[in-house]
Amino acid sequence: MKYVSHETIAQKVCDAICEISLNCDEDVKKLIKEALDKEDSPIVRDALKSLVQNHELSPASRVPLCQDTGTTVVFAELGNNVRIIGATLFEAIEQGVIAAQKSLPMRASMYKDPLFNRENSGDNSPPILHIEHTHGDSLTLHIAQKGGGAENKSFMQMFTPSTTADDIIEYVINGVVNAGSQPCPPLVIGVGIGGNFEQAPLLAKRALMRKLALPHLLPQYSQMEAKILEGINKRGCGIQGLGGDLTAMAVHINTAPCHIASLPVAVNIDCHAHRHCTLRF
């Protein structure tokens, strides 16, 4: 049995949130610089240079990459031989979220009630936690700071089993292209295929945490990823809606078994900040 204190979890979550709020994913940096090297349009080059400059200034000034510091979303893999001491896993993560908000000038973005009493919690709590129970004595936390602008342009549809791969490809491309500049491109696109009504969006969100542009292991799905990415970039609005060839940086597909009568497809969009990391205990 492995024992992990809630203080340890809270501190590491706090540190992780601060890190990803200030330091851009290295794969994103590389793609942005590659796009800058290829781009001819002065206005698009200016936007790309601003992104590069933001990547440099944020950690130096300790001002987050984006003013929307996001909702904390955690996918946890909790081993059956792990015991958390002093608090529940959710409570430990929430403590880390609150500590991070106090450590950085992070905008408080969470309302306690979604509709009537929209009072701000004031500390970015609560987080959203999904737990998968696994074998062994390890605890893994996949953490994302998910901005509201990109989240608002995500979408889903319950298709029928007669739906083809080409139908899904066109559905995803059209949905992302129609979102325009509102999700703050260049984007990362997570696609969940299968499961049921609640699982497909989780598949899509979890797909965003894969290493950027790492293709699906199955060739039929990696081919779909490539076709969707190509279609979005041919028809999309470009960097921040200003044109160019880069509307999306990557498309990641996750799948799950589904009922014989349905074929759920969900698309979760992530902005260019793409704030995510993995902690292991």
Local confidence pLDDT in tens for the 281 residues of the chain = 999 999 999 999 999 999 999 999 999 999 999 999 999 899 999 999 999 999 999 999 999 999 999 999 999 999 999 999 999 999 999 999 999 999 998 999 999 999 999 999 999 999 999 999 999 999 999 999 999 999 999 999 999 999 999 999 999 999 999 999 999 999 999 999 999 999 999 999 999 999 998 999 999 999 999 999 999 999 989 999 999 889 999 999 999 999 999 999 999 999 999 999 999 99
Same domain flag for 140 and 243 = no
Identify whether residues 9 and 130 lie together within a single domain: yes
d(CA 32, CA 1): 45
Q: Does one domain contain both 131 and 152?
A: no
Same domain? For 113 and 200 the reply is no
Q: Tell me the HSE value of 34 on the side-chain side, using a 13 A CA sphere.
A: 10
Between CA 165 and CA 169 the distance in angstroms is 6
Q: Are residues 223 and 174 in the same domain?
A: yes
Give the Cβ contact number of residue 208 at 10 Å.
24
- CA 77 to CA 207: how far, in whole Å? 15
Residue 243 per-residue DSSP state: B
Q: How far apart are CA 218 and CA 226, in angstroms?
A: 13
The pTM for the full model equals: 0.94
Q: What pLDDT is recorded for position 281?
A: 97
Task: Please indicate, yes or no, whether residues 236 and 267 belong to a single structural domain of this protein.
Answer: yes
Would you say residue 107 lies in a domain? yes
Given 116, 146, 176, the domain boundary residue is: 146
Number of separate domains in the chain: 2
H or E stretch at 31: helix 26-38
Q: Residues 13, 137: one domain?
A: yes
Confidence at residue 177, expressed as pLDDT on a 0 to 100 scale: 96
Residue 60 maps to a domain: no
Structure tokens at 204: 């899509």
pLDDT, residue 45, reads: 95
- Count the Cβ atoms, other than its own, within 10 Å of residue 177: 17
The domain in which residue 107 lies consists of: 2-20+65-146
Number of H helices, E strands in the chain: 8, 10
Do residues 8 and 141 share a domain? yes
